[in-house]
Amino acid sequence: MITLLKDEEIILIQRRHWLPFLFEILPLAILTCLPFIFALFIFGGYLPSNLNNVFLNYKNYYFFFSFVFIFILWIISIVLWTNYYLDIIIITNKRIIDIEQFSFFSRDESEVRFEDIEDVKIEINGFWESLLKFGNIYIQTAAESGEFKIKNIENPEKIKDIISLQKEKVAEKKIS
Amino acid sequence: MEYNILNIISAVVFLLLIIGFVIISLILNYHWNRYEISIYKTALIKKVYFIVSSILLLVILLLFLNLKK
């Protein structure tokens, strides 16, 4: 949960793009199918009968350990999904908050106020990034931290526009 | 003898799986509650997680009980 400052309103909550997450989860999905493919091969009568009889004696153990394996993959998937789900960027009328969940108990929360922003740059690199509209945003700040980087975010152009607009609004408010 | 060893290994694996599941569930629950943005989405995640996990654990339990026969 994010604690908002006085008079602070959330403008946008944006998650990272799902493609990098898909590349993480895809090997696990393939691994989940493996015990069933092996079962078809081992118990489907494709082996010589003497070897087939040996495997049939251990059929129950095979399925028990297969489901244990699938259960472990399920838990790993949920952990990866949680890391993806809790990785977000929040734009309010006062600041940008970037939350990166690396793993359990490893979390990075950084923020930059609009008055500290000097320059915003987006980077869309590669075929998939261009096709699915996601990329990185670099925010140059006047603060000690220097550059603020938001990785693999959806619609970087839209976010850049929102940041620029909000930066202008904050600057106007300051002058008036 | 061979089956006895396999049964013992299976029992240990099953026990470790249950312990691991309880620990991971507690940690996940802590993260979902502490850092969630949408209450409704988090409630849905919890439901899906516990329903799928319960089904898988039930299948594993039935297979484990079947080993003893």
Say what the pLDDT of residue B69 is. 58
Q: Do A1 and B63 touch (CB under 8 A)?
A: no
Give the global pTM: 0.84
Q: Which residue of A has its CA nearest to B46?
A: A78
Chain B touched by A38 (CB under 8 Å): no
Query: ipTM of this predicted complex?
Result: 0.92
The span from the CA of A47 to the CA of B61, in Å, is 29
Beta bridge partners of A15: A88
Q: Which residue of A has its CA nearest to B27?
A: A104
Q: In B, residues 16-35, which contact A (CB 8 Å cutoff)? A: 17, 20-21, 24, 27-28, 31-32, 34-35
Which H/E stretch holds residue A169?
helix A156-175
What tokens does A12 get? 């946008």
- Residues B21, A76: contact at Cβ < 8 Å? no
- Residues A6, A12: contact at Cβ < 8 Å? no
Beta bridge partners of A106: A103
Give Cα separations from A175 to A2, A7, A169, B26, B38 (angstroms): 29, 19, 10, 50, 36
The span from the CA of B11 to the CA of B14, in Å, is 5
The closest CB to that of B27, out of A65, A74, A104, belongs to A104
- The single-letter DSSP state of residue B54 is H
Q: Which residue of A has its CA nearest to B23?
A: A75
Per-residue confidence of chain A (176 residues) as pLDDT tens digits? 677 888 888 898 888 889 989 999 999 999 999 999 999 888 887 878 778 778 888 888 999 999 999 999 999 999 999 999 988 889 998 899 988 888 888 888 888 888 888 888 999 988 888 888 899 999 888 877 678 888 888 888 999 999 999 888 888 887 87
